[in-house]
């Protein structure tokens, strides 16, 4: 069948409209659908279960181990979101409302106690107008795990339950609102697929935003490990400066963030950032793959909680080796990958930590 030049030209235009010609646009679109949106969906689902768990626990329909399991799932989902903190979550102190860390002065414990003293029958509205310190998972963890709180005692449980249920509702509402922003017809997900839009003028800007979030998350992992290791305090371990030290979930959270970072690199169908590297950049691709493998293997070898490893010289030695592995991964992304992709990352808020 013969087609006129005009027909062929029209077909070419139509096909071009359906399939992004820009390789970076293909990647941002694939990452939005295959990695970023699923991460936000998982977070919202975990928070929905957390809210239901808090209510069930306070009604006597769940025991403490079940309540803790729901909390750990929500905490893990949040850790997995760290590499894709782009869009609405970065606005209006929303991230601080989910997690308050680092807590160098034990503000969480003090503010929780002060809040419950002020509002013995705390309502969701009371929490909404309170400090971010008491609105999120760090306060929830304090109530469920702190040694000074005995939730098997009916009187103590009754005094803390209003805050447990209020935090659960707050987290569910927050994550649902942000997910809705992503899923809306002209929402954030669409802004990673079609350019220009109100958020990004072109695909490289969107890709830079994602890479910046990924690089920052890996850098923060170094801080989350290096601070309790004492790398900023002349080698003196600071176990109570670890993230999630009460629930002993520090290393599990690091694992969730690392897995998320690697998903951005590979993509859901090998269509992540690595797909932008041509055959002439195979050496860099292999080095980044090897760096992810090394961090995964070193993390898997840490069989005990961070708090136990910090107590022993051998434990601190393997943790420092893991830190060095994270540093290699961070530098590869921040330096060589960004440079190869032509992305200027700019100032990092964690520089100097």
State what percent of residues in the chain have pLDDT above 70: 92
Among 96, 80, 168, which residue's Cα sits nearest to residue 131? 96
For the stretch 132-152, pLDDT in tens is 999 999 999 999 999 999 999
CB 127 within 8 A of CB 171: no
Give tens-digit pLDDT for 148-202.
999 999 999 999 999 999 999 999 999 999 999 999 999 999 999 999 999 999 9
pLDDT digits (tens, 9 = 90+) for 227-239: 999 998 888 999 9
Q: Is the pLDDT of residue 106 over 90?
A: yes
CA atoms of 247 and 252, how far apart (whole Å): 10
Q: Is the pLDDT of residue 7 over 70?
A: no
Please check the confidence at residue 51 and state whether its pLDDT lies above 80.
Answer: yes
Q: Give me the mean pLDDT over the 79-101 stretch.
A: 96
Mean pLDDT lowest among 3-12, 132-141, 205-214, 259-268: 3-12
Q: Which residue has the higher pLDDT, 25 or 353?
A: 25
User: Per-residue pLDDT tens for 244-294?
Assistant: 999 999 999 999 999 999 999 999 999 999 999 999 999 999 999 999 999
pLDDT number for residue 17: 44
Reported as half-sphere exposure (CB side, CA atoms, 13 A), residue 43 has a value of: 31
pLDDT average, residue stretch 77-106: 96
Q: Where are the alpha helices (DSSP H) in the chain?
A: 5-18, 23-31, 37-58, 64-81, 94-98, 107-118, 124-128, 137-145, 154-183, 203-229, 250-266, 282-300, 306-309, 313-331, 338-340
The pLDDT, as a whole number, for residue 197 is: 97
Residue 68 has pLDDT above 80, yes or no: yes
CA 116 – CA 171 distance, rounded (Å): 19
CB distance 276 to 24 below 8 Å: yes
So what's the pLDDT on residue 152? Answer: 95
For residue 350, pLDDT beyond 50: no
Q: Cβ contacts of residue 238 below 8 Å, gap of 6+?
A: 227, 228, 229, 230
What is the rounded end-to-end Cα distance, in angstroms, of the chain? 67
Tell me the mean pLDDT in the region 56-71: 98
Per-residue model confidence as pLDDT tens digits over 290-340: 999 999 999 999 989 999 999 999 999 999 999 999 999 999 999 999 999
């Amino acid at each position: 069948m013969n087609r006129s030049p005009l027909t062929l030209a029209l077909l070419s235009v139509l096909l071009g409209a359906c399939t992004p010609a820009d390789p970076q646009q293909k990647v941002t679109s694939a990452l939005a659908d295959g990695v970023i949106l699923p991460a936000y969906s998982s977070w919202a689902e975990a928070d929905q279960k957390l809210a239901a768990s808090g209510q069930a626990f306070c009604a006597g329909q769940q025991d403490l181990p079940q309540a803790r399991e729901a909390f750990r799932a929500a905490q893990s989902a949040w850790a997995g979101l760290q590499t894709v903190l782009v869009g609405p979550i970065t606005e209006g102190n929303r991230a601080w409302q989910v997690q308050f860390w680092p807590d160098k002065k034990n503000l969480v414990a003090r503010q929780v106690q002060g809040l419950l003293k002020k509002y013995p029958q705390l309502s969701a509205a009371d929490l909404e107008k309170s400090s971010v310190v008491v609105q999120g998972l760090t306060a929830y963890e304090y109530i469920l795990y702190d040694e000074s709180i005995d939730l098997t005692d009916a009187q103590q449980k009754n005094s803390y339950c209003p805050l447990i249920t209020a935090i659960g509702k707050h987290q569910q509402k927050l994550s649902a609102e942000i997910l809705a922003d992503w899923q809306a017809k002209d929402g954030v997900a669409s802004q990673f697929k079609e350019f220009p839009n109100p958020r990004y003028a072109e695909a490289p800007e969107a890709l830079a935003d994602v890479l910046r979030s990924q690089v920052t998350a890996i850098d923060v992992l170094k801080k989350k490990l290096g601070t309790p290791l004492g790398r900023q305090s002349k080698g003196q371990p600071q176990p109570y400066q670890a993230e999630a030290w009460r629930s002993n979930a520090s290393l599990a959270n690091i694992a969730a963030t690392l897995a998320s970072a690697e998903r951005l690199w590979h993509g859901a169908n090998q269509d992540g950032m690595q797909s932008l590297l041509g055959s002439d950049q195979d050496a860099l691709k292999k080095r980044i793959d090897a760096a992810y493998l090394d961090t995964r293997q070193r993390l898997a070898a840490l069989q005990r909680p961070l708090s136990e490893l910090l107590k022993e010289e051998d434990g601190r030695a393997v943790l420092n080796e893991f830190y060095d592995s994270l540093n290699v991964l961070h530098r590869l992304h921040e330096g060589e990958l960004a440079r190869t992709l032509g992305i200027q990352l700019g100032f990092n808020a964690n520089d100097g930590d």
